[in-house]
Each structure stands twice: as C-alpha cells, then as structure tokens.
Structure 1
Amino acid sequence: MYDTILVATDGSDAANRAVEHATDLASSFDADLHTIYVVDTTRYGKSVLSDAGGALDDLEERGAGILEDVAARSDVDVTTEIRSGRPDEEIDSYAAAIEADLVVLGNRGLGSGPGEELGSVAERVVRNAGRPVITA
C-alpha cells in the first residue's frame, strides 16, 4: 500500500507523534521512510537569517539534531533531508521528488498558537499535497 513515506518534523510533541506513527507504518508496510526538517525562512526572513551571523547555521544544526534523533529512535532505515523556505512548499516539493505515497506530520507545530486544532503548515500541506496526508 505504501512504498515511500515522508514524515515532517519540527521537534514538537505533535511532530514526535507523527514520527512514531510514520515509523510504525514504514515498518508494517516495509516502506522507505524519509524525514524532513524545514528551516522556516518565512518566519525570520532570508535576509535576517543571512545577516544574523550564523543564525541559519544554528537552525539547520538544530534540525540535524532532530533528524538524527528520529533516525536513532526508528527501527527502520531513515533518509533525512534539511531544507530552508516555506515549510508547506518544501514538504510538498520533497514529497514529489521522492514520489511519496504518504505524508505524515503533526497537526500543530512549534509555531501554532494555543487552542488551534490544525496549524497553518499542516492545513496547507493537507490542502495542497496532492497525495494522502495523515496528521497526528
């Protein structure tokens, strides 16, 4: 049913639930598991990040740590990807590039406000992905 699964993470609790779910699905379906972390340049602005003396490097380093943790916790092989840009667009672009059969992500990320049932990134991915999406 699923040959390639993409899970997006930002290290939030919801993203961690998504990682667990995606890992279980990949194990059950013997699917390839990919995980992506996107540095949200729309939140800070590329010019701010490039002028901030290593801020972009710090954010990418944080993402690398999160992805390493995902790979270490998983009982399947994980391919990792770090990108910079608008998260929903980068998730969709990477999903298309790897021909993902399924995208899994948290229903709310670190940037979601309290009481939001579905964060803006999750909502845009669900709306625009062109492939099945599960939110956790």
Structure 2
Amino acid sequence: MYETLLVGMDGSDFAQKALEHAVELSQAVGATLHVITVVDSTANPMRFSVTEVDELNQAKATLVENITDATDDGDITAEVRRGDPADTLLAYAAEIDADLVLVGQSGAGQLEATIFGRTTEQLAEQTQIPLTIVPLSDED
C-alpha cells in the first residue's frame, strides 16, 4: 500500500506528532520515510545571504534532532529546502514518488500557526497524493 512516506516538519508540536505518526506507520508497513523542512523564501525570493545559510543549517540540525527524538531508526532521509512551503513540499513528494504526505494540523506559535495553517490548506487543495493531517491528541 505505502512504500514511500513524506512528513513535513516546521518545528511545532503538531509537526512532531505528525513525525511520530509517520514513524509508526512506516515501521508498520515497511515504508521508507522522508522528512522535509522548508525554509520559506517567499517573502523575498532573491535574498540568499549568510544569515539564510545559517537558517538552513539550523533547520537541518533541528530536523535531525526531531527525527532522533521520534525514532532510533536510521533509515530516514532528512531534507531541508528553500521556497514556498506547499509548493516545495509537493515538488519533493513528486521527486521521491511519495505515496502519502503527512503534516501537522497547525504550526508553531501564533505567526507560524497562520503560515502552516495556510500551508496545510494549500496542500489539501493542490496535492494529487493522499494527505494525512495529524492533530494533537487530548493527552498532548
């Protein structure tokens, strides 16, 4: 059924829950798991400075930390890209031939919740791949 799963990470508790769900699912069905963080460059797509390189490096470190917290499985691919979050996530999903995309229900903090909420909505509208939106449970 599922051979390749992709989970989008934005550093929020919602995204961490989506990662945990994706890890459990990938282990249950024997699927390969890819995890992506997208640094949003839509505010100024021409800008790519040392600060942004630092931001990409920090995003990668945080992504690896989140994966380590979620699983001991070393068979997870971590990817950090730059661009519009929804477009970049969908392009990567097509690139790896993902069978399922998983994202958190909302993002981190007030501003990020608005951004990731918008991203989740865009994914739901644009994707041709099954999409699972993972909420926090009452215990979280």
TM bucket, shorter chain: 0.7 to 0.9
Q: Would the aligned equivalents of 2:32 and 2:76 in 1 still touch at CA under 8 Å? A: yes
- 1:120-131 counterparts in 2 under 5 A? 120-131=118-129
Partner of 2:98: 100
Identity among equivalent positions (%) equals 35
Count of matched residue positions in the alignment of Structure 1 and Structure 2: 129
Structure 1: distance between partners of 2:72 and 2:106: 25
Structure 2: distance between partners of 1:71 and 1:119: 22
SS of corresponding position for 1:59: helix
Q: Would the aligned equivalents of 2:38 and 2:83 in 1 still touch at CA under 8 Å? A: yes
Give 5+ residue unaligned stretches, structure 2: 135-140
> Which residue of 84, 87, 94 maps to 2:85?
87
- Runs of 4+ more than 6 Å apart: none
Partner of 1:70: 66
Structure 1: distance between partners of 2:79 and 2:125: 22
> Which residue of 32, 54, 79 maps to 2:50?
54
Structure 1: distance between partners of 2:5 and 2:66: 14
- TM-score, length-normalised on structure 1? 0.87
- TM-score, length-normalised on structure 2? 0.85
1:112 aligns with 2:113: yes
How far 1:131 sits from its partner (Å)?
0.8
What is the RMSD of the two structures over their aligned residues, measured on CA atoms?
1.7
